[in-house]
Amino acid sequence: MTRPRRSLLFLPGDDRRKIEKAIITTPDSIIMDLEDGVAVNKKAEAREVVLRAISELNFGKSERIIRINALDTDFVNDDIQTVLRAKPDSIIIPKVEAPNHVTYVVDRIPFAIPVIAMIETAKAVMNIKEIATVPSLAALCFGAEDYIARVGGVRTKSNHEVAYARSVVPMCASVFNLQALDMVYVDFKDEAGLRAETRAALELGYSGKTAIHPNQIAPINETFTPSQEEIDRAQKLLNAFNENQAKGAGAFAFEGKMVDMPVIRAAQNMLARAGIS
């Protein structure tokens, strides 16, 4: 069964207190960051903090993820050694631009570990199909801030400037049976904006969204979790579908509308998001 990753909370790896507080908010995944969230002169300290946190703290049901530094830095090999010692549940590789960026890391880890590849450059978007074929991948994660900075554009609340790249990620993920994880919403005090952007991600086909503040977890989880009303309607629709299939009927009417297979698949997807098979 695929691990749910509705909400993934980024935390600086050198801050034990923030890691402890994050556990209380019960995100699906806690990302202990060794990359952008940590100053260059704090990298070694962050590795030790993350190592101790994983060995000493009870994360409950939250997935323990380490984000290592990019392959074009001097830190990545030391980060891989931390992964070997800590044995997290998953790892995130930032700024992946080609399949070998993933295999370089995976080949140096002698045990199976799910990998999340961050798609956050124009080259990554161009090569996303090849990246998605790497067997150890569990998910693709879109990073809008780095992407638009590399492209040379300007970030806006409308997200029109990242519309193409943001749409490509869930499309490609669906082809290769991967999860698609959406970009962070940087204004952590704007709950209405977060909910709107998370809803848009759900409509695009994303299965989860990254976060930068514990207060973002509940709105994200609520958006990606179907309501009881939606679950009940989907179950009634599938029951009607099964009854009509038994009668030899293809398309049929349900609540005044014609229903065919795309509608049935949408209902099945909704129940899957609710954890109902």
- Residue numbers annotated as active site: 260
Distance of CA 51 to the CA centre of its chain: 23
Closest CA to 172 of 160, 180, 163, 184: 180
Between CA 113 and CA 109 the distance in angstroms is 8
Decide: 67 and 92 in contact? Cβ < 8 Å. yes
Containing 265, the helix (H) or strand (E) segment is helix 261-273
- Reported as type and span, the H/E element at residue 224 is helix 217-224
The CA dihedral of 65, 118, 203, 164, to the nearest 10 degrees, is 170
Three-state DSSP class for residue 53? helix
Of the candidates 184, 180, 137, the residue with the CA atom closest to the CA atom of residue 269: 180
Give residue 44's Cα distance to chain centre. Answer: 26
Three-class DSSP labels, 110-172: CCCCCEEEEECCHHHHHCHHHHCCCCCEEEEEECHHHHHHHHCCCCCCCCHHHHHHHHHHHHH
